[in-house]
A and B are shown apart, each in its own frame.
Chain A
Amino acid sequence: MMSTASRYWRDLLEDFEEPTRLTPSRSGHRPAATVHAASIGWDPAQTAALTAVADRIGVRAQDVVVAAWGLLLATHAGTDDVVHGALIAGDTTEVLPVRARPVPSRLMSAHLRDTAEQYAENVRHAGLPAAQLAEASGVVDGAALFDTLVRCGALVPDPADLVQLQVDLGGAGAQLRLSAPADLLTEADVRLLLVHASQLLAAVAAAPVTARLRDVGPQSGFEQHRAVRQWNATGTAREPGRCIHDLFERQAALTPDAVAVLQGADRLTYAELDAAAGRLARRLAAAGVGPGDFVALHLSRTVQTVVALLGVLKAGAAYAPVDPAQPVERIRGLLRTLRVPVVLTDPGALPTVHAVTEAVPTVREVLWLGAPGLGPAESWGLAEAGSVVPREAREADVAYVIFTSGSTGTPKGVVLTHAPVVNLIDWVNETHAMGPADRVLFITSLGFDLSVYDVFGVLAAGGSIRVASDAEIRDPQRLLSILDSEPITFWDSAPAALQQLEPLFALRAANTSSRLRLVFLSGDWVPLTLPDAVRGAFSGAEVVALGGATEAAIWSNAFPVGTVDPAWTSVPYGRPIANAHYYVLDAALRPAPVGAPGDLFIGGDCLALGYHGDAELTAAKFVPDHLSGRPGARLYRTGDRARYWADGTIEFLGRQDQQVKVRGFRIELGEVEAALATLPGIATAVATVHGARAGAQLVAYVVPEPGVYPDPRDVREHVATLLPAYMVPAHVITLDELPVTTNGKLDRRALPEPGEDGPARPPYVAPSTAAEKAIAATWAELLELDQVGLDDNFFDLGGHSLLITQLIARLKATLEIDVPVRAVLDHQTAGAFAAVVEAALIAELTAPVPTPDATVAAV
């Protein structure tokens, strides 16, 4: 039998799941068993104004105080659904939960009346023990329903375990006191929260009857000005009218004989590169290509990649990278939506590309790049096309489109113009003094916008691009050997790509001859140990963490990583770059207070035009800029959660939506789920990410229709025909039904971990030879399994690229052999891999002992 009181509280709290918690602005050491407190006294006139506004609205001043606490918590905790404790002396002696769901557009008076009514009802239903109230709510078992409290009445001693605002309205002037245990808030946080409570009450007291909640905020004008203007004082004059390729052409005129791009013996000087790109531009112009057109690049990684990029821009057109490894239908979809007239490719890929483009009527020509004679003369992209003059690009023209995962199941094409990219290139080259001595090891795919800086930025500085081949990129040993043996000064990647090399650092002496001086890490969480590992392996290297979005021209914030503070939970985002504006905003689109989580918006001279062909998504994500005062400007809503530190540094807190990053790749879980759902026999599907940060893995959960028993392998193969490889789940787990919360929502926390119910393992075959036993033991340790049999597959057991490198490093350390990464990819079972290791051991025994240098050269 449920009492009336129980039913009342259940109705009020049932769907409240996330307890409202304030987070200290600074993490790290938390002194135990102390309470920070601060007080403010109001003068009688201020107090009278508060009472007057309460009278006008028809509530009591105490009700206004309770409501203000809810509003303040919503802002400081960065949430729109708050539960806190409240006690108005004289009404009750009991602290009662109050639920506040402030809507910024709501009239303040209506919200205050609602709060007063709710509080009165709560008092009428008082009497339930705290544990029973928590149970009536949706918070997980054992968690406290609230740990913040507002108390109106004569001041009482500060509680030891709650954040508490006390307001004594008894005297002529109100007394405000805020206290918090030191493990919940710092002393500075307590002072700020008290000042904000006071300012918010003053704002309410001064507000007109027509005021809405968004008009009454806790922050002073100075605080808002500081966040909006001072922390965004990034204005830097730029020479107008320049296109991305203009930067290269100027450099080509200055240093025509310097090396611009190389891969092994294949190399082009600035003059040669300029000439080749010019021929390609004329050939494209002869094919009718010009401003407004998209040229698709379907290329392997060679020096011709750079010719293609420059040639398209010189033709006045924009480029659209196509990953040749993508499913054919996805490539066709991209060509169709962009109405691509010309595709550039390698001579060897011509038959493949023709097969793709046959079904795409807009494609008029497929041109190939490379040395003459490798393909048919009529489709050679570098043939001299005669006197045709390409139409020139302007800075407001589109330069490229990069497709990223889209939540609705179709990828979205982010369209960038020249100007924001030129601004970014200028910023990097000025800030980091990039120059002719710099050489980048170019390892990033063209579909990942870091590549834009690697190519055009480095060329604008007069440096050179060492294009890593597709084979080199897959092999961490070779990449490390290139860093050690070639004059590479600059590394630019997602953290995971560099982390792959990390286990190998320890196997070599710290490299003092390396010229690596600058390491850019972006696109994902930077593991806190990575900066020191990099600096240990390459003395003299500076590590910079960068962030932003493809929608905001590659990077728009940066943080030079000096000493890693042990109190950090992640490397901070840092500050906006030149001419970029960053705002952390609350639900009412006002700057969030220091320390409070909010939504990150980017403005300034760095934004994309929008999403190709998707007006609705563009309008939803690019919103009117109400802060900078620039007429007609827009802000990009990143979907990132972030907060300000007291010095204006921005800390990234995660995503507010279903976008995840797996090894630097941006993935919308909705797109993966949509692909899973297309498989016949699947009733419903969910995708999620397991594992933290660098070890993150995409996991799919499928609920089949009755009588259907999907093989995980078939599911993965099916998804692989629809999505790029990085979006194919590492594990597919079949469930009878999806776990749901009491409210019927998907309970992501209850989804089983992969491994608990991973792909079916083959029958156990015990290892017998010494090599087999060693490999089985090493795998079991790496993959955290009890035992590994000879027929077990490395990848089915949860192995991934980071673990391959660790495996190789261990074999080097324990057996003193060098096993190439390919060996793991080609021999995926423990038995087959053990045979390779055994052969390597035998070769080692029979071969002359190599010197350490020879070992490096050989890999």
Chain B
Amino acid sequence: MNDAFRVVRNDEEQYSIMPSDMMNPPGWRDEGTIGSRAACLARIGEVWTDLRPKSLRESVAARAT
């Protein structure tokens, strides 16, 4: 059960986890990490530092004074 999940990411750079034996739904790609649920979530905790979707981050930055 140590490789039960994969870390996945969508075009908005939102992260989540997928059971490792399921195909990615459209718009989701593997981030590269495979492991237990806890290990995958811990990886996400490290790399996903801004939870806003990419388009929102960019639109806020564009409007910043």
Assembly CA distance A291 to B65 (angstroms): 10
Assembly CA distance A316 to B40 (angstroms): 35
Q: Mark A280-294, 1 if CB is under 8 A from B, else 0.
A: 000000001011100
Assembly CA distance A626 to B64 (angstroms): 36
Contact B53 A609 (CB under 8 A): yes
Chain A positions within 8 Å of B, measured between CB atoms, are: 104-105, 212, 214, 288, 290-292, 316, 391-392, 394, 396-398, 415, 417, 589, 609-616, 618-620, 622-627, 629-634
Contact B51 A615 (CB under 8 A): yes
Q: Mark B12-24, 1 if CB is under 8 A from A, else 0.
A: 1011111111101
Partner of A396 from B25, B40, B56 at Cβ < 8 Å = B56
Contact A632 B10 (CB under 8 A): yes
Contact B51 A415 (CB under 8 A): yes
Contact B63 A633 (CB under 8 A): no
6 smallest CB-CB distances across A and B, nearest first, come from A631-B27, A632-B27, A632-B10, A615-B48, A105-B21, A626-B25
Contact B16 A396 (CB under 8 A): no
**A residues in contact with B4, CB < 8 Å:** 105
Partner of B51 from A105, A612, A627 at Cβ < 8 Å = A612
Q: How distant is B20 from chain A, measured CB to nearest CB, in Å? A: 7
Q: Chain B residue with minimal CB distance to A394?
A: B59
- Assuming the contacts A615-B49, A632-B11, asked whether A316 and B44 have C-beta atoms less than 8 A apart, the reply is no
Assembly CA distance A615 to B49 (angstroms): 7
Q: How distant is A609 from chain B, measured CB to nearest CB, in Å? A: 6
Contact B51 A610 (CB under 8 A): yes
- Assuming the contacts A214-B21, A290-B63, A618-B51, asked whether A631 and B26 have C-beta atoms less than 8 A apart, the reply is yes
Assembly CA distance A613 to B22 (angstroms): 28
Report 9 cross-chain contacts, Cβ distance below 8 Å, ordered by A residue.
Answer: A291-B59, A394-B59, A612-B51, A615-B51, A616-B41, A619-B15, A623-B16, A626-B22, A627-B25
Contact B65 A290 (CB under 8 A): yes
Contact B44 A624 (CB under 8 A): no
Contact B17 A620 (CB under 8 A): yes
- Assuming the contacts A105-B21, A624-B25, A626-B22, asked whether A397 and B41 have C-beta atoms less than 8 A apart, the reply is no
Q: How distant is B35 from chain A, measured CB to nearest CB, in Å? A: 13
Q: How distant is B19 from chain A, measured CB to nearest CB, in Å? A: 6
Given contacts A214-B21, A609-B56, A615-B45, 20 further A-B contacts (CB under 8 A): A214-B22, A290-B63, A290-B65, A292-B64, A398-B52, A398-B56, A589-B22, A611-B51, A614-B51, A618-B51, A620-B17, A623-B16, A623-B18, A624-B8, A624-B24, A626-B22, A631-B11, A631-B26, A632-B27, A634-B14
Assembly CA distance A398 to B26 (angstroms): 26
Q: How distant is B49 from chain A, measured CB to nearest CB, in Å? A: 7
Assembly CA distance A631 to B11 (angstroms): 9
Assembly CA distance A397 to B11 (angstroms): 18
Assembly CA distance A627 to B23 (angstroms): 12
**A residues in contact with B21, CB < 8 Å:** 104-105, 212, 214
Q: How distant is A708 from chain B, measured CB to nearest CB, in Å? A: 34
Contact B20 A105 (CB under 8 A): yes
Q: Chain A residue with minimal CB distance to B56?
A: A396
Assembly CA distance A822 to B26 (angstroms): 58
Assembly CA distance A212 to B19 (angstroms): 12
- Assuming the contacts A212-B21, A214-B21, asked whether A634 and B16 have C-beta atoms less than 8 A apart, the reply is yes
- Assuming the contacts A624-B28, A633-B27, asked whether A396 and B41 have C-beta atoms less than 8 A apart, the reply is no
Contact A620 B26 (CB under 8 A): no
**B residues in contact with A394, CB < 8 Å:** 59
Q: How distant is B14 from chain A, measured CB to nearest CB, in Å? A: 7
Assembly CA distance A396 to B40 (angstroms): 28
Q: Which of B8, B27, B51 has the most CB of A within 10 A?
A: B51
Assembly CA distance A614 to B56 (angstroms): 18
Q: Mark B35-65, 1 if CB is under 8 A from A, else 0.
A: 0010011101100110111011001100111
Assembly CA distance A419 to B42 (angstroms): 30
**A residues in contact with B28, CB < 8 Å:** 624, 632
- Assuming the contacts A105-B4, A396-B56, asked whether A624 and B16 have C-beta atoms less than 8 A apart, the reply is yes
Contact B41 A619 (CB under 8 A): yes
Assembly CA distance A550 to B46 (angstroms): 26
Q: How distant is A241 from chain B, measured CB to nearest CB, in Å? A: 13
Q: Chain B residue with minimal CB distance to A215?
A: B21
Assembly CA distance A212 to B18 (angstroms): 16
Assembly CA distance A420 to B64 (angstroms): 24
Q: Chain A residue with minimal CB distance to B48?
A: A615
Q: Chain A residue with minimal CB distance to B11?
A: A632
**B residues in contact with A631, CB < 8 Å:** 10-11, 26-27
Assembly CA distance A214 to B21 (angstroms): 9
- Assuming the contacts A624-B8, A624-B18, A632-B12, asked whether A619 and B48 have C-beta atoms less than 8 A apart, the reply is yes
Q: Which of B15, B45, B60 has the most CB of A within 10 A?
A: B60
**A residues in contact with B65, CB < 8 Å:** 288, 290, 391
Assembly CA distance A292 to B17 (angstroms): 27
Q: Chain B residue with minimal CB distance to A392?
A: B63
Q: Chain A residue with minimal CB distance to B13?
A: A632
Q: How distant is A246 from chain B, measured CB to nearest CB, in Å? A: 17
Q: How distant is A743 from chain B, measured CB to nearest CB, in Å? A: 20
Q: How distant is A721 from chain B, measured CB to nearest CB, in Å? A: 29
Q: How distant is A430 from chain B, measured CB to nearest CB, in Å? A: 27
- Assuming the contacts A616-B44, A630-B27, asked whether A396 and B55 have C-beta atoms less than 8 A apart, the reply is yes
**B residues in contact with A415, CB < 8 Å:** 51
Assembly CA distance A216 to B14 (angstroms): 31
Assembly CA distance A392 to B63 (angstroms): 9
Contact B63 A316 (CB under 8 A): yes
**B residues in contact with A611, CB < 8 Å:** 51
**B residues in contact with A104, CB < 8 Å:** 19, 21
**B residues in contact with A417, CB < 8 Å:** 56
Q: Chain A residue with minimal CB distance to B61?
A: A292
Q: Chain A residue with minimal CB distance to B8?
A: A624
Assembly CA distance A624 to B6 (angstroms): 11
**B residues in contact with A612, CB < 8 Å:** 51
**A residues in contact with B49, CB < 8 Å:** 615
Assembly CA distance A387 to B16 (angstroms): 44
Contact B22 A620 (CB under 8 A): no
Contact A292 B60 (CB under 8 A): yes
Q: Chain A residue with minimal CB distance to B21?
A: A105
Q: How distant is B56 from chain A, measured CB to nearest CB, in Å? A: 5
**A residues in contact with B15, CB < 8 Å:** 615, 618-619
**A residues in contact with B25, CB < 8 Å:** 624-627, 629, 633
**A residues in contact with B14, CB < 8 Å:** 610, 622, 632, 634
Contact A620 B41 (CB under 8 A): yes
**A residues in contact with B11, CB < 8 Å:** 631-632
**A residues in contact with B17, CB < 8 Å:** 619-620, 623
Contact B16 A589 (CB under 8 A): no
Q: How distant is B32 from chain A, measured CB to nearest CB, in Å? A: 15
Assembly CA distance A625 to B16 (angstroms): 10
Partner of B56 from A397, A624, A625 at Cβ < 8 Å = A397
- Assuming the contacts A214-B22, A609-B51, asked whether A291 and B60 have C-beta atoms less than 8 A apart, the reply is yes
Assembly CA distance A622 to B18 (angstroms): 11
Partner of A290 from B16, B18, B55, B64 at Cβ < 8 Å = B64
Assembly CA distance A471 to B15 (angstroms): 45
Q: How distant is B17 from chain A, measured CB to nearest CB, in Å? A: 6
Q: Chain A residue with minimal CB distance to B19?
A: A105
Q: How distant is A549 from chain B, measured CB to nearest CB, in Å? A: 17
Assembly CA distance A630 to B60 (angstroms): 25
Q: Which of A394, A624, A625 has the most CB of B within 10 A?
A: A624
Contact A622 B52 (CB under 8 A): no
Assembly CA distance A624 to B60 (angstroms): 25
Q: Chain B residue with minimal CB distance to A612?
A: B51
Q: Chain B residue with minimal CB distance to A626?
A: B25
**A residues in contact with B18, CB < 8 Å:** 623-624
Assembly CA distance A208 to B14 (angstroms): 34
Q: How distant is B41 from chain A, measured CB to nearest CB, in Å? A: 4
Assembly CA distance A632 to B10 (angstroms): 5
Contact A622 B16 (CB under 8 A): yes
**A residues in contact with B56, CB < 8 Å:** 396-398, 417, 609
